[in-house]
Structure 1
Amino acid sequence: MTTFVDRVELHVAAGNGGHGCASVHREKFKPLGGPDGGNGGRGGDVTLVVDQSVTTLLEYHHSPHRKATNGQPGAGDNRSGKDGQDLVLPVPDGTVILDKQGNVLADLVGQGTTFVAGQGGRGGLGNAALASARRKAPGFALLGEPGEARDIVMELKTVADVALVGYPSAGKSSLISVLSAAKPKIADYPFTTLVPNLGVVTAGSTVYTIADVPGLIPGASQGKGLGLEFLRHVERCSVLVHILDTATLESDRDPVTDLDAIEAELQQYGGLENRPRIVVLNKIDIPDGQDLAEMIRPDLEARGYQVFEVSAVARTGLKELSFALAGIIAEARAAKPKEEATRIVIRPKAVDDAGFTVTLEEDGIYRVRGEKPERWVRQTDFNNDEAVGYLADRLNRLGVEDELMKAGARAGDGVAIGAEDNAVVFDWEPTMMAGAEMLGRRGEDHRLEAPRPAATRRREREAERDEAQREYDGFKPF
């Protein structure tokens, strides 16, 4: 049974926004008291938050589909709909968020760090919010915007100061068990460690974390063995510690050859060239191991490595190793610039971005793409002519019609707004101005106008009677 998962694909869906309400206030002796439709509620967000108590992505491996709740629709009497409830998903410290193409969206490090994986849809405006001096009684409301739905990939990169690397059964788990309070599974057969183990070490005034990475073998960076699955866990470490087995029973292996093989895998994986290295010659409690350690130590030191001879079983040489690691880590922390815990990739828009694009496709369709036009289309009720006219006004003010003319569009050409799988297609009429010219004084109702004084109405009736009399006199025969 799987107990540790460090990479999952998650399908998130934010809540949809509630629809706006089109309503007219009515009461006794005032049947048309003006628009009073409320706005729809906002859809809930899907948010990832770092929780130190979570150490694996196992929960999302079993339940990869997550959805927030929808916003409620608005109602009459200016009542707005209730917002949807946000869905908060706890993730381990060191989780990297990527899209399906492998682009990094966020790198979550530090307790409480958050990232909005799915943005809730906006609630639609009610007709009360759409009313204006020109549009006193809108007979329509905007629909709620669908919530953001997308697939993301979450990768866990263990946040540790020290990474122990080496061949299977080199003694990494034994070493971490005596340096810290960690209790990993230990045995003398290959691939005992199936998941990274993390321990906390105190050396003087320095406290640091140490992780042992499951056994690396030649070809691990190309997917052989277990190494590829866990090589990402060494990326955040400040120092790499090579654990070399000086008492191996395999005739075709020796500590120096093991070191070269592991370094070759780390080099092929990439990104670790500037990390300091320490070599630990383990199992010197065995006579042959002690002799071999003394034999190869000068060669390793000549390569520039700092070498320590230890025995995890006899617990010799551990204090010197622990304090040496503490010194390297303290220097690395002092040299590291202070930065925000949250590292989110921001891709700003160009300063000359008009907010939409118009392109001519092979089938002769002019496709309009942009955040605003597509959102307005999603919020439009196409069963309501007045709502369609309002959409035409907005697109015209944004400059869509001007761009269509510049692109060469002519009367009768097909225009699509949105992506291919969810677009609104219509025949374009360049002489068609906004909906106000088509539908007259859209949204105005003379019954809602304030009553005029009686004297004014009497003068208007007398003026109309006099005008009618003059017209009659003009056609009277002599």
Structure 2
Amino acid sequence: MTTFVDRVELHVAAGNGGHGCASVHREKFKPLGGPDGGNGGRGGDVILVVDQSVTTLLDYHHSPHRKATNGKPGEGGNRSGKDGQDLVLPVPDGTVVLDKRGNVLADLVGQGTTYIAAQGGRGGLGNAALASARRKAPGFALLGVPGDVQDIVLELKTVADVALVGYPSAGKSSLISVLSAAKPKIADYPFTTLVPNLGVVTAGSTVYTIADVPGLIPGASQGKGLGLEFLRHVERCSVLVHVLDTATLESERDPLSDLDVIEEELKEYGGLENRPRIVVLNKVDIPDGQDLADMIRPDLEARGLRVFEVSAVSRQGLKELSFALAGIVAEARAAKPKEEATRIVIRPKAVDDAGFTVTLEDDGIYRVRGEKPERWVRQTDFNNDEAVGYLADRLNRLGVEDELMKAGARAGDGVAIGAEEDAVVFDWEPTMAAGAEMLGRRGEDHRLEAPRPAAQRRRDRQAERDEAEQEYQGFDPFA
């Protein structure tokens, strides 16, 4: 059964925003007390957060579909709907988030680092929030906005300071077991290690992590064996340690050729050319191993490589190796630029940025794209004429009508708002904006206006009677 997974495809869906409520307050002796529909709740986000207690992506391998909860709709009595609950997904330290095309969206390193993978939808406004001096009793509310739906890829790149690379059975797991408190599986057959092993090493005042990369064989960078699956785990390391087996039982292999093969695979993988290298000649406790180490050491040093002769069994040379690695790691850490305080970068929009675009497509459709127009369309209940009129007012104020005219649109031309898959298409009428303006008193209800004083009502009634009497006195039945 799979216990270690370092790459998964995850399908995440944020919660939808709750719909706003259209309601009118009613109580005894006050049947029309004004709009009191509440707003819908916000949909929950899907958030990735680094949790160092998590070491694998196995949970998401078995359950790749994750969804946050929706916001609740608003209610009468000015009661807003409850916000949806955010879905927090813990991921290992060193997780990289990519889109389906392989573009990096986020690199999550450090306990508590977060990334919003899918944004929850806005809640729709209730008619109480839509009321204004012109529109005193809206008979509609805005719909909630659907939450984001994303397909992302999670890749785990081990956060370690030192990477042990080498042929299977070269002794990498044995070295980790004696340099640290890690207890990896150790056996005398190839491909014993099927997952990267991590260990923590303390050398003087320096504490660093060390990892072995399993499965490197010729052709690993092209996908042969297990190497391609784990080569990504060396990308964050400060130093590469070549573990060479000086007591190999395979006659066609020797430590120098092993080193050349592994270096070629690292070169093919790319991005590791400037990492410091150290060569460890392992298993020198065996007489033949010590003899072979003495033979090849001059050749390795001639290449400019630091060489250490060690034995995981007798613990020979381990102290020198651990302190040498600690020195390299300390230098690498000191060379890294210090993290600057978080800066807020303000990027104001251009003065001529309308927030939307109008383009004429090959099929003769004028397509309107922009965050605001598309969101407004999603929030509109097209079964409610008043809501459609409110949308027309908003688009007119934004300048969509003017831009369509500038683009050459004529009455009856097709206009689409949004992307092709979920666009709203209608036949454009240039008078739509004018009609919206003429209906500027849409939503008014004179029954909700404050009653006139009694004296004023008497004066108004007397004026009406005087006007009627004057009309009657001037009436000639024989004219």
TM-score by length of 1: 0.95
Is the 8 Å Cα contact of residues 388 and 435 (structure 1) preserved in structure 2?
A: no
Q: Name the residue aligned to 2:147.
A: 147
Conservation of the 8 A alpha-carbon contact between 2:415 and 2:428 = yes
**Could you tell me how far 1:335 is from its partner in structure 2?**
1.4
1:440 Cα offset (Å): 5.2
2: distance between equivalents of 1:324 and 1:379?
63
Matched residues, number:
478
Whole-angstrom distance in 2 between the partners of 1:86 and 1:435? 42
- 8 Å CA contact 1:169–1:191 kept in 2: the answer is yes
Mapped contact 1:106–1:345 kept (Cα < 8 A): no
* TM superposition shift of 1:467: 3.5
Q: Cα deviations across residues 273-307 of structure 1 (Å, max 9, x unaligned)? A: 22111111111112221112111111211211111
1:313-342 Cα offsets, whole Å, 9 max, x none, are: 221000000000001111111111223799
Partner Cα distance (1:411, 1:262) in 2: 70
1:195-210 superposed matches below 5 A: 195-210=195-210
Matches within 5 A, 1:399-478: 399-433=399-433, 436-437=436-437, 439=439, 441-472=441-472, 476=476
Superposition deviation, residue 359 in structure 1? 1.9
The 1:72–1:340 alpha-carbon spacing in structure 2 relative to 1, beyond 3 Å, is farther
For structure 1, list consecutive stretches of 5 or more residues without a partner in the other structure.
none
Which stretch of structure 1 is more off in the superposition, 56-65 or 286-295? 286-295
* Aligned partner of residue 434 in structure 1, secondary structure: helix
CA contact (8 A) 1:113 1:341 kept: no
Offset at 1:353? 4.2
**Do 2:6 and 2:57's aligned partners in 1 also have CA atoms closer than 8 Å?**
yes
Task: State the shift of 1:349 in Å.
Answer: 7.7
With 406-415 and 383-392 compared, the bigger mean Cα shift is at 406-415
214 and 342 in structure 1: CA distance in 2 versus 1, 3 angstrom threshold: farther
Distance of aligned partners of 1:344 and 1:222 in 2 relative to their CA distance in 1, 3 Å threshold: farther
Kindly indicate whether the alpha-carbon contact (under 8 Å) linking 1:392 and 1:434 is maintained by their aligned counterparts in 2.
Answer: no
Following superposition, the deviation at residue 221 of structure 1 comes to: 1.0
- Judge which range, 293-302 or 20-29, deviates more: 293-302
State the partner residue of 1:40: 40
Cα deviation for residue 35 of structure 1 reads 0.4
| CA shift in 2, pair 1:477/1:449, >3 Å | same
Question: Aligned equivalents of 1:462 and 1:321: distance in 2?
Answer: 109
Shift of 1:351: 7.5
Could you tell me how far apart the structure 2 residues matched to 1:279 and 1:474 are? Answer: 119
CA pair 15-346 structure 1, distance change in 2 beyond 3 A: farther
Give 1:416 shift.
Answer: 1.0
Check 1:434–1:205 CA distance in 2 against 1; reply closer, same or farther (3 A cut): farther
CA-CA distance at 1:85 after TM superposition? 1.1
Identical counterparts, % of pairs: 91
Shift of 1:263: 1.2
Q: Distance between the aligned counterparts of 1:345 and 1:160, measured in 2?
A: 32
Aligned partners of 1:36 and 1:77 also within 8 Å: yes
Contact residue 169 and residue 188 of structure 1 kept, 8 A: yes
Counterpart Cα distance in 2 of 1:224 and 1:304: 30
Superposed displacement of residue 464, structure 1: 3.2
The alignment's TM-score, normalised by the length of structure 2, stands at 0.95
Q: CA RMSD in A?
A: 2.3
TM-superposed deviation, 1:474:
5.2
Deviations 1:323-380 (A, max 9, x none): 0000111111111122379999999987854322222222211111221111111111
- After superposition, the Cα gap between the structure-2 partners of 1:341 and 1:298, relative to the gap in structure 1 and judged at 3 Å, is farther
1:71/1:123 contact within 8 Å kept = yes
In 1, Cα distance between equivalents of 2:351 and 2:240: 44
Moved more, 280-289 or 195-204: 280-289
The offset of 1:465, in angstroms, is 3.4
- Checking the alignment, whether the CA contact within 8 Å between 2:40 and 2:125 is kept in structure 1 is yes
Report the more deviating stretch, 366-375 or 236-245.
366-375
The secondary structure found in structure 1 opposite 2:390 is helix
Q: How far apart are the structure 1 equivalents of 2:243 and 2:371?
A: 54
Cα distance, 1:435 vs structure 2: 5.3
Helix, strand or coil: the match of 2:43? coil
Structure 1 residue 217: Cα displacement: 1.3
| Contact 1:411/1:428, CA 8 A, preserved across alignment | yes
Instruction: Call closer, same or farther: CA 1:347–1:70 in 2, change over 3 Å.
Output: farther
Residue 469 of structure 1 deviates from its aligned partner by 4.2
Instruction: For 2:349 and 2:219, locate their aligned partners in 1 and report how far apart those are by CA, in whole Å.
Output: 42
Cα shift at 1:470: 4.2
| Alpha-carbon offset, residue 462 of structure 1 | 3.0
Which shows bigger deviation, 182-191 or 225-234? 182-191
Could you give the per-residue CA deviations for residues 165-211 of structure 1, whole angstroms, max 9, x where no partner exists?
A: 11111111111111111111112222111100000001011110000
Quote the offset at 1:148 in angstroms: 1.0
Query: How far apart in 2 are the matches of 1:187 and 1:350?
Result: 65
Query: How far did residue 63 of structure 1 move?
Result: 0.4
Question: Is the partner of 1:107 in helix, strand or coil?
Answer: strand
Distance 2:269 2:343 in 1: 23
Q: Does the Cα contact within 8 Å between 1:217 and 1:225 map onto a contact in 2?
A: yes
Q: Is the 8 A contact 2:134 2:440 kept in 1?
A: no
Distance change (3 Å), C-alpha of 1:345 and 1:439: closer
Q: Name the SS for the 1:97 alignment partner.
A: strand
**Residues of 1 paired with 2:278 and 2:9: CA distance?**
36
Q: Residues 175 and 348 (structure 1 numbering): CA distance in 2 closer, same or farther, change over 3 Å?
A: farther
CA distance in 1, matches of 2:321, 2:280: 8
Structure 1 residues 265 and 354, CA gap change in structure 2 (3 angstroms) = farther
1:217-269 Cα shifts (integer Å, max 9, x gaps): 12111111111000100011111111111122222222111111111111111
Partner SS state of residue 431, structure 2: coil
Q: Describe the shift of the 1:416–1:41 C-alpha distance in structure 2 as closer, same or farther (beyond 3 A).
A: same
CA gap 1:158/1:365 in 2 versus in 1, 3 angstroms = same
> In 1, distance between residues paired with 2:36 and 2:60?
44
How far apart, CA to CA, are the structure 2 residues paired with 1:188 and 1:280? 19
Q: Is the 8 A contact 1:127 1:139 kept in 2?
A: yes
1:317 corresponds to 2:306: no
Q: Closer, same or farther in 2 for the Cα pair 1:345/1:133, shift >3 Å?
A: closer
CA change 1:351–1:266 in 2 (3 A) is farther
Quick check: 1:108–1:342 contact (8 Å CA) kept in 2? Answer: no
After superposing the two structures, state which structure 1 stretch, 2-11 or 116-125, moved more: 116-125
- CA gap of 1:218–1:349, structure 2 versus 1, over 3 A, is farther
Distance 2:424 2:268 in 1: 49
Instruction: Give the direction of change, closer, same or farther, for the CA distance of 1:340–1:101 in structure 2 (3 Å limit).
Output: farther
- CA drift of 1:460 comes to 2.5
- What is the Cα deviation at residue 146 of structure 1? 0.9
In the superposition, relative to structure 1, how do residues 224 and 351 fare at CA in structure 2: closer, same or farther (>3 Å)? farther
Counterparts of 1:468 and 1:452, CA distance in 2? 22
Given that 1:281 and 1:310 are in contact with CA atoms closer than 8 Å, whether structure 2 keeps it comes out as yes
Query: How far apart in 2 are the matches of 1:61 and 1:98?
Result: 16
Indicate if the aligned counterparts of 1:105 and 1:344 stay in contact, CA closer than 8 A.
Answer: no
Secondary structure of 1:151's partner? strand
Maintained 8 Å contact 1:108/1:343: no
The answer on whether the counterparts of 2:244 and 2:258 sit within 8 Å (CA) in structure 1 is: yes
Moved more, 182-191 or 69-78: 182-191
Alignment partner of 1:135: what SS? coil
